[in-house]
Amino acid sequence: MSILSMNYQKLSSSLISIIIPMKDESANLEQLFSTLAPILEVLPIDYEVIVVNDGSNDNTLAKLIEISKSEHNLKIVDLSRNFGKEAALYAGFNYARGDCAVAIDADLQDPPELILEMVDWWQQGYEIVTGVHQTRDSDTYLKRKTASLFYRSINKVSDTKFTPHAGDFRLLDRVAIDAFLSLGERVRFNKGLFAWIGFKEKLVYHKRSERSAGTSQWKYLQLFKFAIDGITSFSKAPLEIWFYLGIFTAIAGFFYGLFIFTRTILLGIDTPGYASLLIFVLFFSGLQMIGIGILGKYIGRIFIESKRRPIFIVRKIYDGSNIKLKGDKDEL
């Protein structure tokens, strides 16, 4: 038996899980499944599609249930409310049965046809295959610049190295899935967790397209908070920076006080204006408030983690039929 036939035989008995977290994506569903279907059908392995409905307010769930009547490989995990994309993605991996799994967004900005290449690299022994945005022409100028700034900053302050412009579109082998699921932290930053677990990784580059329909759920304030969560999850640098800033401020204050004392002794009492004094008070009060805010951010994370609440809650799982594998005969 040749090596090629051995690999194919191994793959033909395997299962891949396609995980799609979504919220209010009813406008995208028809194009999503019509695009995915021909790609998944030519895979050399069996597949299941796991859609995580993350508290949609439109008719996303109703459309998914209707689609599941004809898509026998579709499983719908309906969460009790909106827990956020990070939690929804964790839920998808939690319900994945596959020997590997691919996470992809419902907006089709990441090319689904790249799944075939990811599976090919997985067949060659890679445990994680990560999709990286080669260009971000679909994003605004501000979003591109802030994203680049974020990756440069976090790679300088974190021991975990992040791949710039790598999204959640990636393939994980079962061993990587199990490692990812073992990380039970409540405030999740999945891009960092994927990097932290390690494993043999292959990067595949692609162009990021425009959304097929609808509008992005991510606003600039949400992205800013997400970036702060990422930095505080994987670095204690903000605390260290404030520690050194405090030392510098204390030393500067000491020498400035020594200067004022010396000048007063030598030249007599000087009565300066109160404007400069007010500026100093307001400036250093502002620094103190920022420092307290950073400290509060870390304490808040400890508070959330200490409660040990579940990462997500499932309202219902819609799985109308068992997963239909290639080679299974239809019942008459």
Write the pLDDT tens digit of every residue in 193-217: 888 888 888 888 887 766 655 555 5
Shared domain for 172 and 268, answered yes or no, is: no
pLDDT band at 52 (very low <50, low <70, confident <90, very high): very high
Measure the CA–CA gap between 62 and 29, rounded to whole angstroms. 11
Shared domain for 12 and 24, answered yes or no, is: yes
CA 136 to chain centroid: 17
Shared domain for 142 and 80, answered yes or no, is: yes
Shared domain for 22 and 119, answered yes or no, is: yes
Whose structure tokens read 């964790």? 90
**pLDDT digits 0-9 by tens, 97-142:** 888 999 988 888 888 888 888 888 888 888 889 888 877 666 666 7
Shared domain for 117 and 151, answered yes or no, is: yes
Q: What is the per-residue pLDDT for 206? A: 80
Q: Is 87 exposed, middle or buried (0-12, 13-18, 19+ CB in 10 A)?
A: buried
Q: What is the per-residue pLDDT for 171? A: 92
Residue 323 has pLDDT above 50, yes or no: no
Q: What percent of the chain has pLDDT over 70?
A: 76
Shared domain for 210 and 257, answered yes or no, is: no
- pLDDT, mean over the chain: 76
Q: Which residues constitute the domain of residue 79?
A: 3-234+310-318
- Give the residue from 223, 241, 227 showing the smallest Cα distance to 294: 241
Shared domain for 107 and 243, answered yes or no, is: no
Residue 29 has pLDDT above 50, yes or no: yes
- Give the residue from 17, 36, 47, 64 showing the smallest Cα distance to 316: 64
Most confident range (mean pLDDT) of 31-45, 137-151, 296-310 is 31-45
Residue 38: CB atoms within 10 Å: 10
Spatial contact of 49 and 73, defined as CB atoms under 8 Å apart = yes
Measure the CA–CA gap between 233 and 254, rounded to whole angstroms. 35
**pLDDT digits 0-9 by tens, 133-175:** 877 666 666 767 777 777 777 777 777 777 777 878 889 999 9
pLDDT band at 325 (very low <50, low <70, confident <90, very high): very low
Shared domain for 90 and 200, answered yes or no, is: yes
Q: Which of 11-20, 23-32, 86-95, 314-323 has the lowest mean pLDDT?
A: 314-323
**Pick the residue with more confidence: 269 or 52?**
52
Shared domain for 103 and 32, answered yes or no, is: yes
Q: Which residues pair with 176 in a beta bridge?
A: none
Spatial contact of 305 and 187, defined as CB atoms under 8 Å apart = yes
The 3-state DSSP class for residue 168 equals: strand
Angle between helices 3-12 and 114-123 (to 10 degrees): 120
Residue 81: CB atoms within 10 Å: 9
Measure the CA–CA gap between 15 and 4, rounded to whole angstroms. 19
Residue 282 has pLDDT above 60, yes or no: yes
Shared domain for 26 and 151, answered yes or no, is: yes
- Give the residue from 307, 166, 150 showing the smallest Cα distance to 223: 150
State the alpha helices, DSSP H only, in the chain: 3-12, 29-41, 60-68, 85-95, 114-123, 141-157, 174-181, 190-196, 220-234, 237-267, 274-307
Number of domains within the chain: 2
Residue 324 domain-assigned? no
Shared domain for 226 and 268, answered yes or no, is: no
